[in-house]
Structure 1
């Protein structure tokens, strides 16, 4: 089953959870060939709706100690713009759509998402444009995110110490 994994992190992102569970988005996912949606909904549990049909299943959870298996299994990740969530998807070379949570203080997620979208490694969207972004996802060629360079970090610390 081809999986879409949605993660909102530890904060509330009611509008994104509600949107990905909407009939509109479920139809888009099916049209794109996905058969399963898993939503890590955090504190937005009231907006989560599990749905199952013959060709599509929706499940979700609030928190787990590790999301690695979901990132590993997903063909598409839709994420809030938290840096940890973004890096988890990009390091696994997943197709990534990032939706900034506009309700957060100083809108720092928007800045990060915009910078990475400008680099061409992810698609930036909003809740209101998510269906359109997904409908166009297969026409977008994303660049590979550079691999983690632990030797650069080690060198930095060696120079400091």
Structure 2
């Protein structure tokens, strides 16, 4: 397959730090387009379903799409993106996540590429947030209950 058909699609906002570091290590021609999906309302940790914020890129037919996200927990975000990208007829669809928290999975999806599997703890830093804060921390840390 021709490299100009490769599209990396970071999920904003959480996936931006991981994606920025990752794509600098991919030495081939590719295009980059972002998608914004929300699956949390404020600081609530229980998933309330994923919803698209803005438009999905519309030039994905016959292209190799790799979605990059910070964490795969309930799976609703990646399942929504998979279904919407699938409607455009991509040549392939893959997912890459920094963290996989499989204990919380409710959607029928798994990541093709996983950095680390983690237990069911609330983590922040390196793009992961709590109520909009802590994304700028250089490390990933578990947030204690007293700080939630």
More helix per residue: 1
**Pair in the same fold by TM > 0.5:** no
TM-score with structure 2 setting the length: 0.43
More strand per residue: 2
